[in-house]
Structure 1
Amino acid sequence: MSETTSHASPGHSIALFAALDTKADEARLVRDIIVARGHRAVVVDTGVVGEPGFAPDVGAADVAQAGGTSLAALRERADRGEAIAAMANGAAVVASQLQREGRLDGIVGLGGSAGTAVGSAAMRALPVGVPKVLASTVASGNVAPYVGTKDVAMLYSVVDIAGLNRLSRAVLTNAAGAICGAVEAAALLASQPTGDEQPLLAASMFGNTTELVDTARAVFEQQGYEVLVFHATGSGGQTMEGLIRDGFIAGSYDVTTTEWADQLCGGVFDAGPMRLDAAGEQGIPQVIAPGCLDMVNFGGEDSVPAKYKDDPARKFYVWNPEVTLMRTTVEENAQLGKIVAEKANAAKGPVEIFLPLQGISIVDSVTDEGPQLFWWPEADRALFDAIKQHVRPDILVHELDVNINDPVFAKETTDALLEMLKG
């Protein structure tokens, strides 16, 4: 990276990502507020078309190079999409390097759609807990592609970031104040004892497995672990996978793998094809159960695709006005069982699978009132048989003649994970 003199002060280092060919005045305002607050501003130029309005600490040429190309090549080809992708990749590399060098305690960005794409890429490259603030023209819409699974705070700019006026000045001042306050709060937190010495476990949960996970969490906490529970809503599973990959998690209690049913059938809680990969890749101990693979999630009843809604053999359960559950079939469960087994087979560390023979959710059970709506032993058997057929011979598969929310299931699964954690 090229080095110019950072705006030094005795405080913390805050990286500012902005296109200085078009947003120099706005970036200068944010920079000056950071410095006035007593922090160091490390300015990273992500502009491609023109020269920067003031000298950055990391130049656009360095960002482009980090992204695998050159600024000259991007300018010559004049392909906006290519330029944004390259600068986004480079920004992620630069942000990670600045943090490793101790020059990034927090990050702030500003821009329109292009600046948001580039700045958010830099932020997603950083661990959860590093303060991240992004002032953006697109922050009032769907921000999922920009936030991903990281703790990015997005601030809607209200007006375009195209010159300073009374509104943009107010919003950008707030953005600068937000990142300064967040960095100061993070430093305060880091200076206090927080019990961070407790190893972290990840657990997946759904409304239909809440009783199981609540019981397990109490057991793990009693044994000195801190449990992070992730709601299996697509983004929840993605976040869990991301934190495992980032090295935060010592063990995985993945008993609600329902997001794979949504991945297979097109539900709204799809966590993507990488779900169930991270724990195996990291080699951490993991317990896997097919919790809630009996259901695919849609929104309100009107959101269910016609191919399912018009199928008289399909069973539906209106969980609430905004969530409609669809029962998975025998054929779908056979596919899901194979997927679960293949994910377990790829694990580099210890893994055990637990199968609750009396149902994999609340609605896949038999109660005092009789069989619940999704109780379908043939479908569950197809799931269990496929897991046993395709799993590696050395992976233990436990069959327990209880429902997934039974205390016996909680005891057996927690005992197994605790034993694996002993090494």
Structure 2
Amino acid sequence: MTIQNLYDLYTISSGIEINSKKVKNGSIFFSIRGKNFDGNQFAHEAISNGAIMSIVDNRKYSFTHKKILFVKDSLSILQKLALYHRIKLKNIPIIAITGSNGKTTTKELTTAILSKKYEIVHSTKNNLNNHIGIPLTILSMSKNTQISVIEIGASHENEVDNMCSIINPDYGYITNFGKSHLEGFKNMKGVIRGKLELYDFLRKNKKKVFVNGDDPIQLINSIGINRYIFSEKENSDVRIKYLWKKTYLESILCMNDMKIVSPLVGTYNLYNIASSITIGKYFKVPLIKIKKAVEEFIPKNHRSQILEKNHIKIIMDCYNANPSSMRESLTFFNNKLQGNKIAILGDMLELGVFSKNEHKEIILFLDKSNINKIFLIGEIFFNTNIKTSDKIVKFFNKNRFIQWINNKSFQTDYILIKGSRKNALESLIPFL
């Protein structure tokens, strides 16, 4: 079966699925392998659940069956099918967003703003931003889509470039360059090179890039690309002013003398908001509608969410964490909020040989901070040997923290909760 044949089948299917339990009648099931699983073993279950075809790459499961197609590499075929689909829908503009922190928030806010003008805005759902998720995202784009916003996650060099070859973006934006996935990128130079692959693609294909003019790395490396710059500087394409009021859990921006107040907390979110406003302005979304979209936008998935419990404001920023985002969150928490403050922090993962030192640096920052009490959770923090004041308490895991905290009450104004996704620190909320 050629890609054209498979694409013809895809066009009459109900969609693509890689989870046999989520298969809908008429869908095509792709058996994807991972380090600890083999989707091939669910090929027959997918057919039983209504799939019109299961694509496998393990001969053990390629029994003679008119609905089973054996290929050399299921993931490669999935990516080729996505590329074929993108070529068919080449007239739909796609904005690609990558970066170390803030990708999802920027993508969701940009989508909300564009939706004020366009009826059908396609975007990345959940965390489908890697080599498996991106082809699934492309294949979820209908021919009626007016504009698309796609998030690119990357943990090593060449990944952004590979994903751009499938997405073929018309526009791009890099949120920032931070200490994320250092295990894969090796060092900060690797992180920067990896993210700049988006610029390389846009430059080569004569596309446009949105640039934060206050970020020297973006500004320098975007020279020679068709670019649209936002900044506090006067000579920018879009001039945005950033405001902040202590004790207010909100972000304030001004554009053309119009004040826009966002419930997104943290000074680190100001650029996420500003870039989304800039993209909206470029696509001629009326400013009053941009303001409405920003002010209506409520973060989800434990990203900069604000909860109130027993008169304590809890900042849940625990979807993920790396040294850069952790430092940004803690700097905001330390400097911008007045009152009694508690921080509950989980291990930062995927740092490789940098892990010990990066956790040590965070502890040193915390020890000098004006945060009143700090609880560190996880094996890495626990085993970081460094002398600190009594305000820092370490726990080997969440269960030990829960046992300790049981029946204790806090008297504080604010609690910040942050850690890598595998920590799932949001599960602590009922115990606070």
* TM-score, structure 1 normalization: 0.27
Larger radius of gyration: 1
